[in-house]
Structure 1
């Protein structure tokens, strides 16, 4: 996964739409959608909710603790 894809995935996990992500990163919504498609293919996800779930799992695997636990 590229650094940009990881960045996009973080925004998806926060619940932002493609338009909102595009605005934040000063890129086209179409570019965001391309990254979403690449992420779905690489992670085997079928929708945004599954991508967000994948992000939580990646955080868990990298740090050894659930990402949600750090929020509280």
Structure 2
């Protein structure tokens, strides 16, 4: 955890970043997932689902 941020601030910051990523997806024709070693974290999974729901093409560095 960041030393200078309380839990509430960290939560709001994460929510803000998640929203920014979704707005970037909205502006894109497709997204490219950098899934080194096949790893995809929870936030990225959420962004992939959002992209698919909004008709965006999804490409992966490594096959799923």
- Whichever of the two has the greater Rg, that structure is 2
User: TM-score normalized by structure 2?
Assistant: 0.33
**Comparing both structures, which one devotes a greater share of its residues to helix?**
1
User: TM-score normalized by structure 1?
Assistant: 0.30
Structure having greater relative contact order (Cα 8 Å, sep ≥ 6): 2
**Comparing both structures, which one devotes a greater share of its residues to strand?**
2
